[in-house]
Every structure is written in structure tokens, then in C-alpha cells.
Amino acid sequence: MKTVYDYTVKDRQGNDVSLSEYQGKVLLIVNTATGCGFTPHYEPLEAMYKELRDRGFEILDFPCNQFANQAPGSDDEIHEFCTLKFGTEFPQFSKIDVNGETADPLYAFLAAEKPFEGFGKGLKSAALNKFADRNNKAFGEKAYIKWNFTKFLVDREGRVIARFEPTADMKTVREAVIAAL
């Protein structure tokens, strides 16, 4: 059975990083963007990271520019923005694609393990659904991720145990992380 530990990604300098380096930790894997309406999620993410990292928790940040070009900067520009504006300390990797023919294999795996089930209810969810549907038509069956700040929770054995869309309440995400720890 495959786990996230079977994947290798690139750090911000372009070096290979085996996710097996995170074996035994609870992971929250997030695709991010610096110019998105959900960019303020960096604040509760960083607070959760500071509070829980000593208990074996890691957040893995993967910037992506596939959603309305909301992450246009270089890896260094994105990192500088996140550290200066939100004080982020969790690992940030090289910008990737999460959809289409060029999707990073990690994201194809994550989405296969926990497919999209909807953004939830309410006006924000309905509006986001329209934007996401329009944006993701270009990716067809390979539209694995619907929008920025989709979060995948991975247990200490490398299994994907939950998926949270950007509309999910961050308190719910935090509770799931604590339960996994």
C-alpha cells in the first residue's frame, strides 16, 4: 500500500526531499497562494504549527499558481511574503502544479486517497464552486484540487486520513490534527 512516504518533492532550492524524512509525524499538506482570499489561513496554520510541532506535527506548504494566477511570484518571493507577513516557519516547498498533466504525483495520490466532496453550504461555498468549476475545466478528469488552501491530513504511518477544503473552519482542522496526534 502506497503512503506519502513513497513520494519525493522539491524544496525551494530545487533539491529532492523524500517525504520519508517526515515518517512518524502527523502532516498537514497544503497547496497555497499568496494572493488568494484564503491567504489569511497562514495565520491559524502558523499558530497551530507553533503550538503542536513539538508533539510531532508538520505543515508542508506547496505554493501553486493554477487558481486564477494567485501565486505568481518566484519561490523566494512567495517565501519572503509568507515569512514577513505571517511569520511562517513551517516547511515551504517549490511551487508546483496540483492539477492537469503536469500535476505533482503527490497531489494526484492525495486526491485519489481523499477525493473532493464539495465546499459545503453557504454563499461563500456557492461562489467558490462557480469560480472553481470555471477554473478547473481546463484540467478535465485531472482537476484533483478545486482551489487554494486545500488541506490533507496524514497520520503517523503516512496514510491520508482527511481532506479539508478551503471553506472548512480552521477550528475543525485543528481539532482533527489534535486527534491525529
Catalytic residue among 36, 110, 143, 145: 36
Non-local CB neighbours of 55 within 8 Å, separated by 6+ positions: 181
- Respond yes or no: is residue 36 known to be catalytic: yes
Asked if 57 and 173 touch (Cβ cutoff 8 Å), the reply is no
The three grid cell numbers given for residue 88, joined into one nine-digit string:
511562517
Helices (H), the chain: 42-52, 75-86, 105-113, 123-136, 170-180
CA-based nearest residue to 8, from 22, 25, 28: 22
Residue 60 three-state SS? strand
In angstroms, rounded to a whole number, what is the distance separating the alpha carbons of residues 63 and 72? 10
Residues marked as catalytic: 36
